[in-house]
Amino acid sequence: MTVIAVLGAGKIGEALLSGLLHGGHAPGDLLFMERYPARAEELTQRYPGLRSVTVADAAKQADVLVVAVKPQDIDPVLDVLAPLLGPSSLVVSLCAGLPTSLYERRLAEGVPVVRVMPNTPMLVGEAMSAISAGRHATAEHLAVVKELLAHVGQVVEVPEGQQDAVTALSGSGPAYFFFLVEAMIDAGILLGLPRALAGQLIIQSAVGAAKMLAESDEHPALLREAVTSPAGTTINAIRELEKHGVRAALLDAIEAARDRSQELGRAHDEH
Ligand SMILES: NC(=O)C1=CN([C@@H]2O[C@H](COP(=O)(O)OP(=O)(O)OC[C@H]3O[C@@H](n4cnc5c(N)ncnc54)[C@H](O)[C@@H]3O)[C@@H](O)[C@H]2O)C=CC1
Ligand SMILES: O=C(O)[C@@H]1CCC=N1
């Protein structure tokens, strides 16, 4: 079994570890490095058998090294990794915005790097992950990463030039849905429903709608039309959404997320 080390066990690092455990990975084959001892302790208690290791141990023992720190924290991590890794290592970066060329510049010559944009539904085995090979990553390296991520959701391969757009769509995407659900529950409160009931109504509607989207071949517009009766309730709501520019707001929002991803990458250009 492939030994995987996760460097930075925060929200997405934990989602990956937890998803891999649920997907059948042996805890003994999963290592993590975390700068806060209290966080490391929390994880070893929550996931018995998982080992907290040093970066040097991870570099020695792991087949795959997954970098899951904030993009702003990458510099010290690359400094520590640089003397430890060689072409037989495989680095997988989950960091928004950071290009594979950054790793290639800072690590030893020939170290293969695969850039991945996952999302937090990894926690429940429903991630959407997009992967791109760096200059030294071969088809076999991509296959290893694909196989790994297939345990925790769907995987697509994209040209690296699309990764900032992917980050804005599916990397951040769950947050947009959570935001909508939060606002819709508030609407239930406005209409006088108890919060628990409003939550149940909206969350199950979201689950049902997501299942229809995933399982039917219908375009979302047709699924929406099927709910929208002539002179009915839904069209009155749709008129308000259009009046408030919700469609344009989503286009602008996702473009802003893409721009920020590009900016995070550029912040390291001078290094
Ligand atoms: N949260 C999300 O939905 C997604 C996050 N990402 C990417 O994943 C990365 C991590 O994001 P989050 O998990 O949200 O952040 P987070 O802040 O929850 O986790 C980062 C973890 O890295 C640890 N860390 C930082 N420097 C370290 C070091 N030198 N050694 C060991 N541990 C160190 C921190 O203590 C923290 O626990 C980011 O680059 C982000 O762009 C990608 C897709 C989705
Ligand atoms: O907000 C962020 O920067 C990260 C990357 C994608 C989702 N969360």
pLDDT at 89 over 90: yes
ipTM of the complex: 0.98
What residue's CA is closest to ligand 1, atom 34? 8
pLDDT, tens digit, 9 for 90 and up, residues 20-53: 998 889 999 999 999 999 999 999 999 999 999 9
What residue's CA is closest to ligand 1, atom 17? 10
pLDDT, tens digit, 9 for 90 and up, residues 164-210: 999 999 999 999 999 999 999 999 999 999 999 999 999 999 999 99
Q: What is the dihedral of CA 264, 162, 133, 111, to 10 degrees?
A: -20
What residue's CA is closest to ligand 2, atom 8? 172
Q: Are 90 and 144 in contact (CB under 8 A)?
A: yes
Whether 93 is in the pocket of ligand 2, judged by its Cβ within 6 Å, is no
Calculate how far, in angstroms, residue 109's C-alpha sits from the geometric centre of ligand 1.
26
**Euclidean distance between CA atoms 218 and 255, whole angstroms:** 26
Q: What does the mean pLDDT of the chain come to?
A: 96
Whether 96 is in the pocket of ligand 2, judged by its Cβ within 6 Å, is yes
Burial class of residue 129 (count of CB atoms within 10 Å of its CB; 0-12, 13-18, 19+): buried
By percentage, how much of the chain surpasses pLDDT 70?
99
Q: Rounded to 5 degrees, what are φ and ψ at 39?
A: -70, -40
Please report, for the chain, the start and end positions of each structural domain, with discontinuous segments joined by +: 4-160, 173-261
Q: Hey, which of 17, 42, 70, 261 would you mutate to test ligand 1's pocket, going by the most ligand atoms within 8 Å of its Cβ?
A: 70
What residue's CA is closest to ligand 1, atom 22? 8
Ligand with smallest separation from the Cα of 172: 2
pLDDT at 87 over 90: yes
Residue 71 labeled ligand binder = yes
pLDDT band at 92 (very low <50, low <70, confident <90, very high): very high
Select from 152, 140, 203, 155 the least CA-distant residue to 177.
203
Calculate how far, in angstroms, residue 249's C-alpha sits from the geometric centre of ligand 1.
28
pLDDT band at 138 (very low <50, low <70, confident <90, very high): very high
Q: What is the pTM of this model?
A: 0.96
pLDDT at 228 over 70: yes
Question: Which CATH number applies to 173-261?
Answer: 1.10.3730.10
Superfamily grouping for domain 4-160: NAD(P)-binding Rossmann-like Domain (3.40.50.720)
Residue 60 labeled ligand binder = no
Ligand with smallest separation from the Cα of 119: 1
Burial class of residue 222 (count of CB atoms within 10 Å of its CB; 0-12, 13-18, 19+): exposed
Q: What is the pLDDT of residue 269?
A: 73
pLDDT at 271 over 90: no
Identical fold at 4-160 and 173-261? Answer: no
Q: Are 66 and 4 in contact (CB under 8 A)?
A: yes
Q: What is the pLDDT of residue 80?
A: 92
